């Protein structure tokens, strides 16, 4: 199977641009055109129509999309199945939002391994858009993320939420926060909109950061005001580095578990999902040491 033909078709069906698909796949535009022609020849049908208005899928192309996704996913599953057989164990590939790595991560790994002692686990910290893409292609088995990228082949379930608090090296009052030294949080794709609704007066700043650890480091070295994870806020206060801006509204980000739709009801994935519900679910379902 020439899986690159399928991958090129699916990417082009999303971008509707030969140039963009070539850039995203790291190949030339002529290579994209050649792959599309080869796939059309193999299927005996035209899949795209190119015009001045752009590139559009034909009726046959639209019908082929779900089958192409299935082929891509099956190919990825087959590759990992062969690798897993060679190593003598099933490998479970887990993506996790970068900001969640520090929150009782060792406990999560411990519980995963205790539940599936026969499995090998590969954990990778990443961001929501990439993890959603990796779930769709089968590169990852499960993802723990902030902003699902909804896709017909994916299933997401809300686990709970995570809390960010505003701290400052300058003040403990929201009215005294200066826009010049305020660092905009960008921990998820949805956060700028949430932030703009809560604090429209601080929506435009000259600096924005997308990771909690980097935000903490900036506060420690440069000073200013920013949102950080609750645990980080408490540590900065104990160290005397920052004060809590008590009248600033907390920012709550939902946490989701994501699967390929085919894995939704598989026993292995259901067992892992139950562990995630325990770790990231509502506070009343957690022990005090697992609060987020």
Are 268 and 132 in the same domain?
Answer: yes
User: What was the pLDDT predicted at 80?
Assistant: 60
- Summarize the confidence of residues 18-35 as an average pLDDT: 89
User: What was the pLDDT predicted at 285?
Assistant: 41
pTM flag (> 0.85): no
| Residue where the block lists tokens 């946490």 | 255
Give 161's strand partners.
Answer: 254
Are 189 and 145 in the same domain?
Answer: no
Are 244 and 257 in the same domain?
Answer: no
* Domain harbouring 65, CATH code: 1.10.10.10
Are 165 and 236 in the same domain?
Answer: yes
Has residue 292 got a pLDDT over 60?
A: no
Boundary (domain end) residue, out of 22, 50, 74:
74
Boundary (domain end) residue, out of 74, 90, 106:
74
Give 54-111 pLDDT, tens digit per residue: 899 999 999 998 888 888 777 776 666 655 444 446 788 899 998 888 777 888 899 9
Is residue 265 very low, low, confident or very high in pLDDT (cuts 50, 70, 90)? confident
Boundary (domain end) residue, out of 29, 58, 74:
74
Outline where DSSP puts E strands in the chain.
48-51, 54-57, 91-97, 120-126, 142-145, 154-168, 182-185, 208-209, 225-229, 243-244, 251-260
Are 278 and 176 in the same domain?
Answer: no
* Domain harbouring 99, CATH code: 3.40.190.10
Are 239 and 165 in the same domain?
Answer: yes
Are 131 and 204 in the same domain?
Answer: no
Are 111 and 246 in the same domain?
Answer: no
Is residue 138 very low, low, confident or very high in pLDDT (cuts 50, 70, 90)? confident
Residue 279 CB-density burial (10 A; 0-12 exposed, 13-18 middle, 19+ buried)? buried
Are 155 and 171 in the same domain?
Answer: no
Give 195-225 pLDDT, tens digit per residue: 999 999 998 888 999 899 999 999 999 999 9
Phi, psi (rounded to 5 degrees) for 57: -75, 140
| Residues, the chain | 292
Are 171 and 222 in the same domain?
Answer: yes
User: What was the pLDDT predicted at 286?
Assistant: 42
Phi, psi (rounded to 5 degrees) for 27: -130, 175
Overall number of domains in the chain: 3
Are 247 and 259 in the same domain?
Answer: no
Give 154-197 pLDDT, tens digit per residue: 999 999 999 999 999 999 999 999 999 999 999 888 888 899 99
Phi and psi based region of residue 45 (left: phi greater than 0; alpha: psi -120 to 50; beta: remaining): beta
Cβ atoms of residues 100 and 255 within 8 Å: yes
Are 154 and 275 in the same domain?
Answer: yes
User: What was the pLDDT predicted at 287?
Assistant: 36
Which domain covers residue 39, as residue numbers? 3-74
- Summarize the confidence of residues 267-278 as an average pLDDT: 89
C-alpha to C-alpha distances, 163 to 17, 229, 292, nearest whole angstrom: 40, 6, 7
The mean pLDDT of the chain is 86
């Amino acid at each position: 199977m020439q899986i690159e033909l399928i991958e090129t078709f699916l990417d082009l069906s999303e971008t509707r641009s030969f140039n963009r698909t070539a850039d995203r796949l790291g190949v030339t535009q002529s290579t994209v055109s050649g792959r599309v022609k080869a796939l059309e020849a193999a299927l005996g049908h035209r899949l795209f129509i190119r015009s001045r208005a752009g590139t559009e899928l034909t009726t046959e192309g639209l019908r082929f999309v779900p089958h192409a996704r299935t082929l891509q996913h099956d190919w990825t599953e087959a590759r990992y199945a062969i690798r897993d057989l060679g190593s003598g164990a099933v490998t479970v590939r887990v993506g996790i939002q970068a900001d969640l790595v520090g929150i009782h991560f060792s406990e999560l790994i411990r519980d995963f391994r205790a539940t599936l002692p026969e499995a090998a686990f590969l954990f990778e910290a990443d961001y929501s858009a990439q993890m959603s893409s990796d779930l769709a292609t089968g590169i990852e088995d499960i993802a723990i993320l902030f902003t699902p990228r909804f896709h017909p082949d994916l299933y997401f379930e809300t686990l709970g939420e995570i809390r960010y608090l505003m701290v400052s090296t300058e003040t403990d009052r929201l009215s005294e926060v200066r826009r010049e030294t305020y660092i905009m949080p960008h921990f998820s794709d949805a956060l700028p909109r949430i932030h703009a609704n809560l604090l429209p007066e601080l929506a435009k700043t000259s600096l924005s950061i997308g990771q909690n650890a980097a935000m903490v480091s900036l506060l420690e070295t440069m000073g200013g005001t920013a949102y950080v994870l609750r645990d980080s806020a408490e540590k900065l206060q104990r160290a005397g580095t920052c004060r809590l801006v008590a009248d600033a509204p907390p920012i709550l980000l939902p946490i989701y578990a994501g699967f390929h739709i085919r894995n939704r009801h598989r026993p292995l994935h259901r067992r892992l999902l139950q562990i995630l519900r325990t770790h990231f679910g509502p506070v009343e379902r957690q022990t005090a040491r697992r609060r987020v």
